[in-house]
Amino acid sequence: MTQSISKTYLTGWEYNRLLQAEPWQPRISALPAAVFWQGAHQFWMFRAVLCTAESIENECAAADSLGWATGAIIGDLVAEGIVESVDWPGLPFHVRERLRATRNQLVKEYPEHRVRDLIETRNVAELEIIKNQLLQPVLSHHGAMASGAPNSLTNWAGGRGPGSMSSTDKIAVLLSKLAAPLLPGLHACRPPGTGLPADVVQRQKDVQDTVEQPLITQLMAGDAEFGGARGYLPYFEALSTHTDAYRPINEQILADWSSNRTRLLRLRDVAAKHLWPSLHAEWLPALTSGAMTGAAFEQLISRAIRRSAFDRFFDSRPIRTVIGSVPAAVGVAVTASGVAIATAAGLDATQSAGASAGAAAAAEVVRQRLSALASQRREDKPLAVFYQQANRTIATT
C-alpha cells in the first residue's frame, strides 16, 4: 500500500551537514523567510510542516534578540501545532546510520571544499540537490516530502544557478499551481518593504550589504565562529546595533501576519476536510512514484477550476429546475442568466452569444452540459469543492 504524504519538510541550510562526519550532529541552520510572501501554501496544504530543530531555534532567537518578524511567525506556527521540529540527534539509530551512509556517498561527488565553493558562489541549484538527497532518510522516516521552498541563499544570489529542475522542484511547482487560484486573495505577508518609503527600505539594504553580506558564506557553512547549533550568536551580535534599520520592515511583516493568520488557519480547516484526503493519500504518492504525470495533475487542476466556477449554479433553484425539466421549460428558467451560465460552463463565445439571442436553444446545450457534469464523480470533484469553500473562506475572513 502506498504511504500517505501528509507532511512537508521546510528545509534550511542542511547542505552544511556534509561538512561533518556525523550529519545528524547539530549544526546551524535557518529557514527561508520568502516562503511567507510567496504563497505560504505549505502551511495549509499539509497537516504538518517539519523543520530542523536548529532552524526553529535560530528563528525564534532572532525574534527575541533582533525583533525579526519571521522568527515570531515561526514561533506562532509552532504554538499552533502546525510547525514541528525534528531533532536529528534524537532520530532512531537506523535512520542516523542511513544519514551517515548517505553523507559518505555524497561527499564522493561533493567533498567539503566543493560544498564551500558552492556556498561561496551561491550555487543554489546544486546545493538544493545536495540537501534533498541528504534529507531522504529523514523524509522517509517521517513520511514527508521536501517543500521545495526558496533557498535562503537566494537573498544573496542573482538566480538559482546552473542545473536542471529536480523531481522535488517539479512537484513544488505543481503544488504552487494548485495554490494559484486562491491568490491574491491569500497571502501570509506581502514582500518586505511593501508600502514603505524607499529610504526606509534602502536603509535596511545598506546594513545587509555592509554587515550581513561579508558574513553569509561562513554563517551558512557553519564554519569558524559560526560553528555549532548556536553559531548564529556572533551573527546576531554583529547586527545588534542595527535593529532600528530593520524595525520598519519587520513591523510591516508582523502587521500583515496579524491580518492574515486567521484566514490561513481557517483555510487549513477547509483543506483538512476537502483537500487533504485526496492530496495526501492519492495525488502526492502518485506524483512521487510516477504513477501520475505532472501534465495529468495540471489537467486535474484545470478541470477543478472550471468545475468550481459553474458547480455553484447547482445551488440555484432555476438551474435545478433546468436540470430536471423538459427542453421547453429551459428557456424560461435561464433566459436571464443564459450568457453567464454558458460562459461558466466552458462554452465558446459563439455559443455564449447564442444564449442571449436564442435562450431556449442555447439553454438546452447548457442543460445537457450541466446534467452530464452533475452525474459525474470524477477525481477533480474534491478539488473543485475545495476551491469553492476556500474562496468563500478567503472572501469572508
Comparing C-alpha atoms, which of 201, 204, 149 is closest to residue 175?
149
Task: Give the tens place of pLDDT for each residue, 275-319.
Answer: 999 999 999 999 999 999 999 999 999 999 988 876 554 444 544
Residue 140: how many other CB atoms lie within 10 Å: 12
Global pTM value: 0.81
- Over the chain, what is the mean pLDDT? 84
Give pLDDT, residue 309: 74
How far is CA 343 from each of CA 81, 301, 348, rounded to the nearest angstrom? 43, 19, 7
**Distance from the first to the final alpha carbon of the chain:** 39
Q: What are the backbone angles phi and psi of residue 146, rounded to the nearest 5°?
A: -65, 140
Which grid coordinates belong to 2? Answer: 502506498
Mean pLDDT value across residues 80-95: 97
Give pLDDT, residue 356: 54
Give pLDDT, residue 374: 53
Which of 173-187, 210-224, 381-395 is the most confident on average?
Answer: 210-224
The set of residues, in sequence order, having a beta carbon less than 8 Å from that of 29 and lying 6+ positions away, is 12, 13, 14, 16, 52, 54, 55, 58
Is the distance from CB of 79 to CB of 253 less than 8 angstroms? Answer: no
Which grid coordinates belong to 54? Answer: 536548529
Give pLDDT, residue 371: 58
122-126, 149-153, 187-191, 304-308: segment of lowest average pLDDT: 149-153
Which grid coordinates belong to 114? Answer: 566543493
Which grid coordinates belong to 186? Answer: 491569500
Give the 3-state DSSP-derived string for 150-173, with helices as H, strands as E and coil as C. CCHHHHHCCCCCCCCCCHHHHHHH
The set of residues, in sequence order, having a beta carbon less than 8 Å from that of 96 and lying 6+ positions away, is 22, 24, 88, 89
Percent pLDDT > 90 in the chain is 65
Task: Sketch the domain layout of the chain as residue ranges.
Answer: 7-167+185-260, 294-381
Q: What is the DSSP string of 47-70?
A: SEEEEEHHHHHHHHHHHHHH--HH
Q: How far apart are CA 107 and CA 380, in angstroms?
A: 44
Is the pLDDT reported for residue 360 higher than 90?
no
Interior CA angle at 270 toward 267 and 275, to 5°? Answer: 110
376: left (phi over 0), alpha (psi -120 to 50) or beta: beta
Residue 357: how many other CB atoms lie within 10 Å: 10
Mean pLDDT value across residues 24-44: 92
- Would strands 48-52 and 7-9 be described as parallel, antiparallel, or unpaired? parallel
Is the pLDDT reported for residue 355 higher than 80?
no
